[in-house]
């Protein structure tokens, strides 16, 4: 009877020790994927900022037909950034590292959106105000993206 208890105790300790060896890297990976508070604020800010930007771009396109083509170019670039963010989010949720190509796509699409938005102009003061708001949202989204790169390691 005593030998069974000793064998059981050693088996239990062996399994416990083995799980502790493997738990540290898993915890590190989980912490990195979850990110700290500032990382998650930046992540949320870029996602929310781009969603708000898309809504603002729709207002521009509906208020001024002369800007529709230019605005569509900006919308496509923003959609590309959102799609790349989706790829990154999927990787993080499955415990994988964010693909460098997706990070590059976010940056490239935000740059393309800024370039295209700079070409959107209107003689209507209300539309011009919405265009300015879109520029502010894009700038804030870009800053949040830079925050993700800096704070999510």
Contact 72, 97 (CB under 8 A): no
Nearest to 111 by CA among 150, 78, 148: 78
Mean pLDDT of the chain: 83
User: pLDDT (tens digit, 9 = 90+) per residue, 50-77?
Assistant: 999 999 999 998 887 888 889 999 999 9
Of the pLDDT bands very low, low, confident and very high (cuts 50, 70, 90), residue 111 is very high
Question: In 3-state terms, what secondary structure has residue 124?
Answer: coil
pLDDT at residue 119, as a whole number: 92
Pick the CATH number of 36-151 from 2.60.40, 1.10.10, 1.10.3210, 1.20.140: 1.20.140
Phi first, then psi, for residue 98 (nearest 5°) are -65, 130
pLDDT at residue 34, as a whole number: 66
pTM comes to: 0.77
């Amino acid at each position: 009877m005593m030998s069974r208890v000793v064998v059981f105790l050693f088996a239990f300790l062996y399994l416990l020790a083995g799980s502790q060896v493997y738990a540290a890297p898993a915890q590190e990976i989980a912490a990195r994927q979850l990110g700290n508070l500032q990382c998650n604020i930046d992540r949320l800010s870029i996602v929310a900022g781009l969603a708000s930007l898309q809504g603002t771009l729709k207002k521009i396109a509906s208020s001024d037909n002369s800007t529709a083509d230019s605005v569509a170019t900006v919308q496509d670039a923003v959609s590309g950034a959102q799609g790349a963010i989706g790829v990154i989010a999927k990787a993080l949720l499955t415990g994988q590292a964010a693909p460098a190509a997706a990070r590059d796509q976010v940056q490239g699409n935000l740059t393309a959106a800024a370039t295209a938005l700079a070409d959107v102009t209107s003689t209507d003061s209300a539309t011009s105000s919405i265009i300015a708001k879109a520029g502010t949202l894009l700038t804030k989204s870009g800053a949040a993206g830079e925050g993700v790169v800096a704070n999510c390691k």
